Structure formats: C-alpha cells, structure tokens
C-alpha cells in the first residue's frame, strides 16, 4: 500500500482539505506529486502525513514558511516520522509560548483600553487622552508591550477601575 499512488481528490478527501489547498501546498514546496500518463497529479500515500503535519502546525499558528523551513531540514524531503515531529514541534515551542503569552494578554484586556488610539471606549479618553500613546508606535501598544503580561494586566485593571470610579463620581472631563 505504501507504493500506491493517490489521486488529488482522494488525498484532499482523506486530509479534509480542498484540492486547491493541495495545489497551493505543492506550489509552496510543502508537498510533491508526480504525474501519470494523462498528466494528472498523483501523490504517494505518505503525503497524507505531511499534510496532517502542515495542518497541525497551522492550528498552532505556525506559518507555512516556518513549516517549509522545518521540512527542508528533513533528508530528501521525506515525510516526518514521529521522531521528526517531536523535534519539529519542540523547535516551535518558544514561538508557541510567545504566542500563548500574547493571546493571554489579548484575552485579559479585551474589555479595556489596549492603547490602539481609537478612543472609542469610555476609559480610553481618561487613560489615553488625545491618543498620547501614538508616540509609542502604531497599533495596540499597550497590548504589545514587552513587559510581564501580569503586570500589564494589573496596570490596565487599576486604570479601568480608576476610570470607572471617575465616571461613577461624575468627575470626568470630556467624552464618557
């Protein structure tokens, strides 16, 4: 069965992806096919594992470029074995940990000001009056600060509480 060649439709169905996705992966050098006498793509059965690794990496937020780079380290572009997968996934660990930290900060500050400059939240005019945070750079500067996530969250929560108290007491000046 290992020598059996699969049609693009069979691989797509088995992997749960669209045929166009397989074409895209092939164009990006992530998978390889051969052509039969009728010029139709044919894949070896082990491409199913390779596509599964690509999908798993994508679910973890790993870019296709990073996946391609990891695959290029494999001898003769072979499909990753269980041992290879262990090495690949451990190499992505620090990237994943950074992503988790960022997502935790995002999750914990979704209801508060993240310093993006929109000034649309009730607490932003109090905390980020006239978008003073613009000097720190574009985008959600508070969210993307390289400080400890817990410290950032605690600072934001204290400022939100202070803003809330000011609004409740009617001590704010400007839009509420």
Average pLDDT, the chain: 77
The pLDDT score that the predictor gives to residue 171 is 47
Confidence tier at 146 by pLDDT (50, 70, 90): low
> pLDDT tens digit string along 27-65?
999 999 999 999 999 998 889 988 998 998 898 888 899
Q: What is the CATH topology of the domain spanning 5-91?
A: Multidrug-efflux Transporter Regulator; Chain: A; Domain 2 (1.10.1660)
pLDDT at 112: 72
**CA torsion 45→49→52→58, rounded to 10°?**
-120
pLDDT of residue 1: 45
**Average pLDDT score over residue span 66-83:** 80
- The pLDDT, as a whole number, for residue 139 is 75
Domain assignments of the chain as residue spans, ordered by start: 5-91, 99-169
Site of tokens 């400022």: 159
The answer to whether residue 140 scores a pLDDT higher than 70 is yes
Q: How far is CA 47 from CA 10, 51, 113, 172, 173, in A?
A: 11, 6, 46, 62, 63
Share of the chain above pLDDT 90, in %: 25
Name 77's Cβ contacts closer than 8 Å, sequence gap at least 6: 32, 71
pLDDT at 12: 95
> What pLDDT score does 91 carry?
79
CB 31 within 8 A of CB 41: no
């Amino acid at each position: 069965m290992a020598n059996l060649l699969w049609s693009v439709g069979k691989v797509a169905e088995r992997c749960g992806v669209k045929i166009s996705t397989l074409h895209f992966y092939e164009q990006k050098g992530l998978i390889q096919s051969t052509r039969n006498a009728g010029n139709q793509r044919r894949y070896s059965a082990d491409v199913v594992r390779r596509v599964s690794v690509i999908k798993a990496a994508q679910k973890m937020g790993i870019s296709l470029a990073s996946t391609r780079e990891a695959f290029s380290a494999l001898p003769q572009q072979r499909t990753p074995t269980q041992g290879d997968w262990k090495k690949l996934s451990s190499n992505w660990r620090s990237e994943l940990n950074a992503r988790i930290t960022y997502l935790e900060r995002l999750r914990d500050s979704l209801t508060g000001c993240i310093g993006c400059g929109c000034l649309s939240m009730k607490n932003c005019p109090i905390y980020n009056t006239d978008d003073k945070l613009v000097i720190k750079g574009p985008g959600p500067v508070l969210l993307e600060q390289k400080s400890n996530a817990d410290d950032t969250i605690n600072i934001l929560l204290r400022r939100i509480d202070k803003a809330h108290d000011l609004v409740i007491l009617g001590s704010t000046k400007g839009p509420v």
